[in-house]
Amino acid sequence: MQHKSKLPNTGTNIFTIMSGLANANNAINLSQGFPNFKSDEALINLVSKAMKSEYNQYAPMAGSIELREAIAKKFDLLYSSTYNPETEITITAGATQAIYTIISAFIRADDEVIIFKPAYDCYEPAITINGGKTISVQLEAPNYIVNWATVKQKISTKTKLIIVNTPHNPSGTVLSQKDMLALQELTRNTNIIVLSDEVYEHIIFDNEKHQSACLFPDLKSRSFITASFGKTFHNTGWKVGYCCAPKALMDEFKKVHQFNVFCVNHPMQKGLADYLKTPSHYLELSQFYQEKRDIFLGLIKDSKFKWLPSKGTYFQVLEYSEITNEYDVNFAKRLTVKNKLAAIPLSVFNDNALDNKVLRLCFAKTEETLKKAAEILNRI
């Protein structure tokens, strides 16, 4: 049988490739974005308690009302801007499912979607598979600042959706209040929807404030916010996230969501709802990860790599032009095989595989792992 692929240019993603190389070569894996330390035992116990308390059947399609109410309270606490838990919040199987469902619900053939590159790799395939056209805006290293005049030029009558990501994976930068106001003005009085990928909202450094889309009234009125409990609470394998949006947008989201996953793991939702009752569980996260960032950068301060300190996420990008002129994919593979350290090359997320000689490394690791990684980087 022969079939025409809906994603003909999609192969094995870079995360699978680099983690496979890391495993095959017994290398330290700083490529994929997951912690190598344990989740809070208190959260695990709450999920276990939920299982033993018979929270083992289907959850409501939009998610446990306890969890949705806890999320609404969190938004009110952090941003003085909340969502109706009955109609404007949906629990999802991770942020990736939320993003895919948003795109599926609204993008039709020939609709245009603006994304910023380097871009997380789940955006473009979802656009393509739904018949849309990706319109990319390339952000330039090392600052990865958005040129809003360029964005304005890219907007057309076919623009249906703009996707922003702050804190930004893979660059570790954040959008400012000025950026979000510019986005709000560009979309005002249009039918453009904004998808604000905020999975690292609780991991932001140097006294910066996360500029959530919900802080800007007109922007909030046209935006989906996607978030991830896995990124926040060190349990990426649980694949539990959520999205928020005004009721009119969320109604369309739910039409697709119910036939996609219908509902999400029930005992984990119960455990998370109870865990969120203690705000320090997420309020202290920025300091926790800033200490890890600072330790890591301190350990490699005498290396030949160059960097601007990450402003958010648990990723740090390192520029290596003083070491080699190799294409970043080749250097990343050689680093894994020869030096036993795996990282992600950024060119795979750029327009036309633009190579700025930059690698992304994950510092959501134990101090022991960071020290071992630093020793390798300092020898290169």
* Extents of the domains making up the chain: 14-32+284-379, 45-278
For domain 14-32+284-379, the question of CATH label 3.90.1150.10 is answered with yes
What is the distance between the alpha carbons of residues 335 and 323, in angstroms, rounded to a whole number? 12
Domains 14-32+284-379 and 45-278 alike in fold: no
3-class state of residue 20 by DSSP: helix
Phi-psi group of 294: left, alpha or beta (phi > 0 → left; psi -120 to 50 → alpha; rest → beta): alpha
- The answer for residues whose C-beta is within 8 angstroms of residue 275's C-beta and 6 or more apart is 40, 42, 43, 46, 233, 281
CATH number of the domain at 45-278, out of 3.30.70.260, 3.30.2130.10, 3.30.2350.10, 3.40.640.10? 3.40.640.10
Average pLDDT score over the chain: 97
Q: What is the pLDDT of residue 12?
A: 85
pLDDT band at 2; cut points 50, 70, 90:
confident
Express each pLDDT in 179-233 by its tens digit. Answer: 999 999 999 999 999 999 999 999 999 999 999 999 999 999 999 999 999 999 9
| Predicted pLDDT of residue 1 | 84
Q: What gap in Å lies between CA 309 and CA 293, rounded to an integer? A: 8
Q: Could you tell me if residue 346 is left (phi over 0), alpha (psi between -120 and 50 degrees) or otherwise beta?
A: alpha
Across 234-245, average pLDDT: 96
Q: What are the tens digits of pLDDT across the range 272-303?
A: 999 999 999 999 999 999 999 999 999 999 99
Token pair 């700083």 is found at: 30
Once rounded to an integer, what is the mean pLDDT over residues 301-323? Answer: 98
pLDDT at 116: 98
For the entire predicted model, the pTM comes to 0.96
Band (pLDDT 50/70/90 cuts) for residue 109 is very high
Do the Cβ atoms of 315 and 360 come closer than 8 Å?
Answer: yes
State how far the Cα of 30 lies from the Cα of 37, in Å rounded to an integer.
Answer: 13
Which burial class, exposed, middle or buried, applies to 177 when counting CB atoms under 10 A from its CB (0-12, 13-18, 19+)?
exposed
